[in-house]
Amino acid sequence: MGLESGTYIDSLVATNPVGSDNRNQGDDHLRLIKNTVKASFPDVDEAVVTIHNGSSAPTNKQTGTVWRDTSASLWKFWNGSGWITLPFAFNTSNSVDINAGTIDGVTAGTNSAVTELQVDNINVNGNAIISSDTDGDITITP
């Protein structure tokens, strides 16, 4: 009989069962496969969520599916009813883009780490505060 023993998926022998095994020994093979799969994925208690990599959204999605949208260089998360674009891109190292809501209590690094800060149409660069607004006005209110 070609029944191997093992604990994890990598212990399974792809050529087993051999053709000369008795039919009833197939049950032993099935039990071994089930046990190795369960041991390899011990915390799986619902459908497994995958990361889809491609230019179009996956068709078979479930709540928690993550999609790496290669056409827009974005990460997206399926919340059960729609895709939520996550606030970072994978085409720029150490970049986070916040495009909605507010950020409270942010520290933008140290003097040596932050070289430029862009907020809406105001750019803080070194010792300069520059407005890209059409009227160019900057009001600083205490």
**How far apart are the C-alpha atoms of 74 and 83, rounded to whole Å?**
11
Which pLDDT belongs to residue 76? Answer: 93
Give the gyration radius of the chain's Cα atoms.
27
Q: Could you tell me if residue 94 is left (phi over 0), alpha (psi between -120 and 50 degrees) or otherwise beta?
A: left
Average pLDDT over residues 63-92: 87
Which pLDDT belongs to residue 121? Answer: 79
Asked whether the predicted pLDDT for residue 98 surpasses 70, the reply is no
Model pTM score = 0.45
Largest CA distance in the chain: 87
Cβ–Cβ under 8 Å, residues 77 and 84: yes
Is the model more confident about 11 or about 122? 11
